[in-house]
Amino acid sequence: MLQKILLLFLVLLVQQGFAQQPDSRKYKVTGTVKGAWGERLEGAYVVFSQDKTALSDKQGRFSISLSKGSYEVTCQFIGMAPFKETITVTEDKDIVLTLVPRNFDLKVVEVTARPTTGVNSTNMGSSYIDQKLMTRMPKLMGEADVIRTVSTLPGVVNAGEGTSGFFVRGGSADQNLVLMDDAPLFNSNHLFGFFSVYNPDILKSFTLHRSGISARYGSRISSILDVSLRDGNEDKMQYEIGLSPITAKFSMDGPISEKLTMLVGVRGAYPNYIMKLFPSRNIKNSSGHFYDGNLKLKYKLDEKNSVSFSGYHSGDGFKFPNDTTYQWTNTLGTLKWNHLFSNDFTGTATVVKSIYKNKVEGISTGEEFELKSGIDLSQFKVDFGYFGKENHQVDFGGEVSLYAIEPGDLVPYGTSSLNRRTLQDDKGVESVAFINDEFKLNDKFSVSVGLRYSHFAKIGPSVTYVYAEGQPRSDLNIVDTLYYSSGNVVQTYQGLEPRASVKYSLSDASSFKVGYSRTRQYIQLISNTAAITPVDVWKLSNKHIEPQVSDQVSVGYFFMEPESMYEYSWEVYYKKLYNQVDYKDGATILLNPSLESDLLFGDGYAYGSEWLVKKNLGRMRGWVSFTYSRSLRKIAGATKAETINDGEYYPSNFDKPLNLNVFVDYHLWPNWKVSGNFTYTTGRPVTAADSWYWYQGQIYSNYAGRNQQRMPDYHRLDLSLNREIIKTDKAEYSGSLSVYNVYGRKNAYSMLYQHYYGESPSAYKLSVLGAPVPSINFNVKF
């Protein structure tokens, strides 16, 4: 009997123990973060009861493993009101978090590189800017601009007014991959760089990646500028009209049916009457124009499938009096299919087409000609995201890109004495495979590890010259010519591109990060100017031009106040650069069939320290960014003719050691704000003569070395008065008054030397905008 009682007691004890044991099973919670108009939001920060976190991917998806129980879910995203909701987890579930725009009376500066993710993610050197912030920054000629806004970020500078392109961490303009809805752009400017190709009224956001780049991205060695257009409104059709001194814009977006949405934006420019106001006769008698248009369609097939199309076309024209006309066009198309295989597995297939065409026409009597060039890119890629493993977010995929470059076709006409010259097309194929895993080791450590493999094949038809060994490359030293028929492989290059970054959380408000990345670039812009111009030549790697390679190491400290009032970051980096391109003195770039004979190749390095302090809340908001950096090159060839600066390091064309940007946005009273932006940079390096001498009645220049002098330092102040949206029953109105270059600084763009008989040569500096430029813009949305 006693044994039975003891056995019964033991059974009851065990049962009681099991009854009191908590449910230790984990349930998977997946979800999608969307905006109020249905667009999926990448980089949204999702927190479950303050201790479990997740970050949405490019498709707005996230996944997390949770124990049984109730959780308070909060979600934050730039420009959106904070989201809060309580969910109960008793099984695997999929949720949708829909965020709405922040109330206009309460909205903060939607800046900053995703306020919470800067501290909590493994991302380094990435800056995210919302479209609403960009439209409040001071404008040039009434037009908000992506490239000018990017130039206010740490580690980024431009070449000056009226120039295209920007330089990131000591790299050249062609070392930046510039995207519009995943389609690469080969010329991102209008009117020689006064404006960019992006219509600000239809943008959603843009992100600049300078370091810590995911293995998903590649093809350039300095940065990735990823610009996204917003999707069409799913609720109602809306229209917007914008006017500025030289541009007029119209956009519309909304639902066509329950499953189909549309976004359309068109823009045109009429700058000729403004040009008549300039004192320079050349500018006064010049003319220019541009137009562009966007179309975006998104069709929801079912709950797991959607198809979208994004198209763009633009045209530019500029004419100098009695001399030369320039015309160029951009045509882009992106067709994308998104599929949800399961709550843990997403996929995207994308087809991309990007065509850039350029035409230069000479109209001087006896020198009439047309010079055509361009580049045609066809691309197919697949991207997958997998969340099936706890605390892991795995991205993998691949892409194939076909390049076809028309380097130049000169066609004389009229009374021209020129001869027709046509260079052979330049073709190549780039293939890529990648995988990237971002995961948490514990509450302190998070790691992102990726590997990208790229392969490039230069294909025929092609003519390759063989040069005499031990002699400088030149037309006189060609000893053989190799001919490759269409489709034959001329040269191949390949390599691995490892990526890694580690985040260590010092506290809930601060973290320390370390990152490394290797990148390869198989296409380069051959230009002997600091800025991109219409006559520059894109060139693929071949037997004589090896791909550019960069190894970058970066270390950073990131801090944000718990209430998000203040934010601070400090990042230092070092980049080693291989196979960098420079030019012989007097190099011939245009229509040169043996272009490599005028090119020089070497290595370089760049390093710098970037500071950023931001205020995100309160009546006055803004940021201060400061960068100290250096960018150096070394060209030490086998002969003196193939050596620059005696084989010693010299500053690159993009070396601007000091870069300061201050942006302030002050709330004067309801719906009125005043903003200001101050920029200071060290003058860019130039090669100038340090002395002159006479020989047999001629003046000759003596050069001490490449890039040993500098232009005057650049600084500028811009101010803007912004009237936020005024709502009526039928429409919303907004506008701004801006003054660019308030104190009329004559910033030098280039230096010229004038020689007079019997006198020393005199130096002159050319400034593009040497006076204050006021402008006004007005927008109506209905």
CA 507 vs. chain centroid, Å, equals 31
Cα 467 to Cα 474: distance, rounded to the nearest angstrom = 8
Sign of the CA dihedral with 235 first, then 238, 244, and 246 last: positive
Whether pLDDT at 420 is above 90: no
Tell me, letter by letter, the H, E, C secondary structure of 75-96. EECCCECCEEEEEEECCCEEEE
225: three-class secondary structure by DSSP = strand
Helix H, strand E, coil C: the string for 162-222 is CCECCEECCCCHHHEEEEECCEECCCCEEHHHCEECCCHHHEEEEEEECCCCCCCCCCCCC
**Which run of H or E residues covers position 318?**
strand 305-319
Out of 23-27, 48-52, 123-127, 453-457, give the one with best mean pLDDT. Answer: 453-457
Q: Residue 754, class by beta-carbon neighbours within 10 Å (0-12 exposed, 13-18 middle, 19+ buried)? A: exposed
Domains of the chain (ranges, CATH numbers): 25-98 (2.60.40.1120), 117-781 (2.40.170.20)
The tens digit of pLDDT for each residue in 450-486 reads 999 999 999 999 999 999 888 888 888 899 999 999 9
Mean pLDDT (the chain) is 83
* Predicted local distance difference test score (pLDDT) of residue 112: 37
Residues 431-453: what's their mean pLDDT? Answer: 92
> What is the residue-wise DSSP string for 591-660?
T-TTGGGGEEEEEEEEEEEEEEEEE-SSSEEEEEEEEEEEEEEE-B-SSGGGBSGGG--EE-TT---EEE
Amino acid of residue 529? T
Can you tell me the distance from the alpha carbon of 762 to that of 755, in angstroms, rounded to the nearest whole number? 7
Share of the chain above pLDDT 70, in %: 86
Q: Which helix (H) or strand (E) holds 588?
A: none
Q: Rounded to 10 degrees, what is the CA torsion of 708, 700, 598, 475?
A: -160
- 71: tokens are 């959780």
Percentage of residues of the chain with pLDDT beyond 90: 32
Q: Fill in the amino acid letter for 672.
A: W
**pTM of the full structure:** 0.84
Instruction: Report helix, strand or coil for 585.
Output: coil
8 Å CB contact between 345 and 318: no
295-338 pLDDT per residue, tens: 999 998 988 899 999 999 999 988 877 778 889 999 999 999 99
Strands 426-440 and 392-412: antiparallel
629 forms beta bridges with: 608
**pLDDT tens-digit readout, 615-633:** 888 888 888 999 999 999 9
